[in-house]
Every structure is written in structure tokens, then in C-alpha cells.
């Protein structure tokens, strides 16, 4: 049987462990976190849908505001595709507050044409990314991209 002193020390130890766990959780919640998702879509305007585009979304589930300076697409070999005239729900640089998101898009057909012109006519895995003001990069899931196939199914404008 445990006496009162053993119960007291085991209870105090449990409180210390629980407090330490809460401290670790609070530290992880304060880290800068940006979730990036890459998909295909159509930007929509008042009276029509835009061209098929790569849609790169950034979500901030963290507790800190993150300033996003750049976004784009990354090839497996590290090369980047950055659109200088990209459109989106915000203009970069943009302060992405906790619990908020933003969406940028790059028209798909010019990317496919550029790939084919450069001899990259096989299926490739692309990832979306955002870069913050401190130089940290946040990457998305990979998306298979087959430039010749997309050129066959997307209309020329």
C-alpha cells in the first residue's frame, strides 16, 4: 500500500509531466506553419471562367502571421517556375494571418508550351511552393503534369 507521501509525490510528478507537455504543445503552436496545396482549376470572373491554371493555395494554421514574398512551381530537379504576372486572391508580398489562406494561379497552357519547347515532353512531378520573408520555403504535394497531353486538351487563346 502507498502511504500519503507516495501519493503526494506521484500526484506532483503527474502535474509536472502534464505542465511540461502543455509547454511543448504551446511551443509547437507558435511555430510558423504554412500548408501549401497544388491543384488545377479555373479562375472565375464576373461573367466567365478563365483558362485552366495551376492553383497554388497557402493556408496558415499556425499562431503567427507569415509574410509571403514569392510563389511558384518547382520541378523535381530543383528548377522553379515563377510567373511575374501571376494573378491571385492577394498581391505579394502578403501578410498571411493565422486562420487565413490565399490563392495564386499560373496559367497552365504557357507552362506546357514552354516545357515542350525546352524538350521536356514527358510526364513530370511538379510541386507548388511559397517563400516567406525569412527565406523559408513551404512546399505542396506533388502533382503529375504531362505537357503534351495538356496541350491537346486546353484551348489556345
Predicted TM-score (pTM) of this structure: 0.79
Tens digit of pLDDT at every position of the chain (157 positions): 556 666 556 666 656 655 666 666 555 555 689 999 999 998 888 898 889 999 999 999 999 999 999 999 999 999 999 887 789 999 999 999 999 999 999 999 999 999 999 888 899 999 999 999 999 999 999 999 999 999 998 877 6
Residue 90: left if φ>0, alpha if ψ -120 to 50, beta else—which one?
beta
Task: Tell me the C-alpha distance between 19 and 13, whole Å.
Answer: 10
Amino acid at each position: 500500500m502507498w502511504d500519503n507521501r507516495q501519493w503526494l509525490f506521484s500526484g506532483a510528478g503527474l502535474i509536472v509531466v502534464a505542465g511540461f507537455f502543455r509547454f511543448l504543445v504551446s511551443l509547437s503552436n507558435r511555430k510558423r506553419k504554412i500548408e501549401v496545396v497544388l491543384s488545377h482549376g479555373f479562375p472565375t470572373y464576373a461573367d466567365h471562367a478563365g483558362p485552366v491554371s495551376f492553383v497554388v493555395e497557402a493556408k496558415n494554421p499556425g499562431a503567427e502571421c507569415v509574410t509571403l514574398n514569392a510563389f511558384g512551381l518547382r520541378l523535381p530537379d530543383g528548377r522553379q517556375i515563377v510567373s511575374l504576372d501571376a494573378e491571385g486572391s492577394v498581391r505579394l508580398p502578403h501578410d498571411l494571418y493565422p486562420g487565413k489562406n490565399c490563392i495564386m494561379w499560373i496559367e497552365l497552357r504557357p507552362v506546357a508550351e514552354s516545357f515542350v519547347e525546352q524538350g521536356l515532353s514527358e510526364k513530370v512531378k511538379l510541386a507548388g511552393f511559397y517563400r516567406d520573408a525569412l527565406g523559408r520555403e513551404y512546399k505542396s504535394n506533388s502533382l503529375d503534369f504531362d505537357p503534351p497531353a495538356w496541350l491537346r486538351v486546353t484551348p489556345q487563346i
